[in-house]
Amino acid sequence: MNRFLAFIILIISLPFQFLISIFIVLGSGFPVFYNQKRIGLNKKDFTIHKFRSMKNNEITLIGKIIRKLGIDELPQLWNIIKGQMNFVGPRPLTGDDIIRLNWTSNYYNQRWTVKPGITGLAQLTNICNKKISWFYDKYYVNNKSFCLDLKILFKSIIIPVFGKKIKIIK
């Protein structure tokens, strides 16, 4: 279902993505996409795709806009179509992130038993903290359901408008 829906959204959004690509090129040149190795399901490497939002380690003007709206994530529809990601799940981390967070022990392996997502519970909180991120990732893995996915997707869509003030977990 994720793959089919991602394909439909990709087709519908192609003209919009083309326009974003033009803005990126006009604003900061090539390349249009940012690709990075991430760790996915069962700790297997894959390459994540995003619209490039930075140049010379600074966020560009178009980058600020597409990041705020979450549009920089649209190329990840390809990752979903390829079966590497879902719409919802723990965010895929880099190998360096895993080391920095000290999530290298078997205790954290549960996190990689589900496909990573474009959005997840940890991304919906105002607080950026490894313990809170682990709590939300673990909560998601243990409580994964269609209803929870819908709640996370809904909040992810409205965050650009209302901010991260609405609670998902009670």
List, for residues 4-31, the tens digit of each pLDDT value. 999 999 999 999 999 999 999 999 999 9
Q: Residue 128 belongs to what domain range?
A: 2-162
What pLDDT was estimated at residue 140?
A: 96
List, for residues 45-68, the tens digit of each pLDDT value. 999 999 999 999 999 999 999 998
Q: How far apart are CA 124 and CA 163, in angstroms?
A: 9
Is residue 168 one of the residues assigned to a domain? no
The answer to whether 51 and 36 have CB atoms below 8 angstroms apart is no
Is residue 152 one of the residues assigned to a domain? yes
Question: Would you call 46 helix, strand, or coil by DSSP?
Answer: strand
Cβ neighbourhood burial of 139 (10 Å; 0-12, 13-18, 19+): middle
The answer to whether 75 and 33 have CB atoms below 8 angstroms apart is yes
- If you average pLDDT over every residue of the chain, what do you get? 91
Number of domains in the chain: 1
Sign of CA dihedral 84, 89, 91, 95: negative
What pLDDT was estimated at residue 128?
A: 79
pLDDT above 60: residue 40: yes
Is residue 22 one of the residues assigned to a domain? yes
What pLDDT was estimated at residue 123?
A: 86
Q: How far apart are CA 26 and CA 13, in angstroms?
A: 20
Residue with tokens 């519970």: 121
Pinpoint the alpha helices (H) of the chain: 2-28, 61-69, 77-81, 95-101, 130-143, 146-162
What pLDDT was estimated at residue 168?
A: 52
Is residue 170 one of the residues assigned to a domain? no
Q: How far apart are CA 106 and CA 7, in angstroms?
A: 35
pLDDT above 60: residue 33: yes
Average pLDDT value for residue range 39-43: 95
What pLDDT was estimated at residue 165?
A: 54
pLDDT above 80: residue 164: no
Is residue 169 one of the residues assigned to a domain? no
Is residue 14 one of the residues assigned to a domain? yes
Is residue 80 one of the residues assigned to a domain? yes
pLDDT above 90: residue 129: no
Name the more confident of 42 and 167.
42
Is residue 167 one of the residues assigned to a domain? no
Average pLDDT value for residue range 83-110: 94
Tokens standing for 105?
């022990």
- The model carries a pTM of 0.88
